[in-house]
Amino acid sequence: NAGVTQTPKFQVLKTGQSMTLQCAQDMNHNSMYWYRQDPGMGLRLIYYSASEGTTDKGEVPNGYNVSRLNKREFSLRLESAAPSQTSVYFCASSEIRRGENIQYFGAGTRLSVL
Amino acid sequence: GEDVEQSLFLSVREGDSSVINCTYTDSSSTYLYWYKQEPGAGLQLLTYIFSNMDMKQDQRLTVLLNKKDKHLSLRIADTQTGDSAIYFCAGQSGGSYIPTFGRGTSLIVHP
């Protein structure tokens, strides 16, 4: 049981390059999320997917796109990377039961945009 | 929507108790969570409390909830160096199933 797996773990991009961050979960969860973590800012929600086939914007969606490929996989794409997108990106998944939403996080992708 | 605030740093001596505080704004919050993030890792759930409870205890962890003041605290008894980490408070508003996270409190434990 791997939980939530993110690839790659580290990435360096030049301004204007594109890349896709991959996330997969093996817990059969319906909901998946992408967050970014910046020093002193905590976790901010970029996009989420309540179930396969649906995606919604979070607090900071500009500059990002997502794809819920199937129930297991939720990818985050940067079409034209900017230095402001230098951050640590976390994917999470959850299954909401009786209203409680316990999220399970991946180990993160550390992205630098030069 | 929910807004969650925490102090950024806390330093304690090994063996002492640590108390990490959090305030939230939405009085309809249903669940309140504490997550722990160790260096270089993702967040992991420590404990959580439902809004109809005042206190929850789990081994060395005690969560206190004051709904009137919208204040949540996490007490770690007999703090160890392995407890050094960032602790995130998260509140789940009654109108949303997605928790809002605070900025995180860095706990530093000195030997």
Residue B32's closest chain A neighbor by CA? A100
User: B65-74, pLDDT tens digit by residue?
Assistant: 999 999 999 9
Where does the pLDDT of residue A41 fall: very low under 50, low under 70, confident under 90, or very high at 90 and above? confident
Query: The dihedral of CA B107, B25, A92, A43: what is its sign?
Result: negative
Name the residue with higher pLDDT: B96 or A6: A6
Residue B104, chain A, CB below 8 Å: the answer is yes
pLDDT recorded at residue B96:
84
A102 to B92: CB separation less than 8 angstroms, yes or no: no
What percentage of residues in chain B have a pLDDT greater than 70? 100
A96 to B97: CB separation less than 8 angstroms, yes or no: yes
CB < 8 Å to B38, chain A: none
User: B10-53, pLDDT tens digit by residue?
Assistant: 999 999 999 999 999 988 888 999 999 999 899 999 999 998 89
pLDDT recorded at residue B27:
85
8 Å CB contact between A37 and A29: no
B41 to A107: CB separation less than 8 angstroms, yes or no: yes
Whether A40 has a pLDDT exceeding 90, the answer reads no
What percentage of residues in chain B have a pLDDT greater than 90? 82
Q: Letter for the amino acid at B80?
A: Q
A99 to B33: CB separation less than 8 angstroms, yes or no: no
A99 to B31: CB separation less than 8 angstroms, yes or no: yes
DSSP classification of residue B83: G
Whether A99 has a pLDDT exceeding 90, the answer reads no
Where does the pLDDT of residue A1 fall: very low under 50, low under 70, confident under 90, or very high at 90 and above? low
Q: Distance between CA atoms of A13 and B5, rounded to whole angstroms? A: 33
Residue B48's closest chain A neighbor by CA? A102
pLDDT recorded at residue B36:
97
Rounded to an integer, what is the distance from CA B32 to the centroid of its chain?
8
Q: Tally C-beta pairs within 8 A across A and B.
A: 54
Give the closest residue to A103 by CA, choosing from B24, B5, B37: B37
User: A54-95, pLDDT tens digit by residue?
Assistant: 999 999 999 999 999 899 999 999 999 999 999 999 999 999
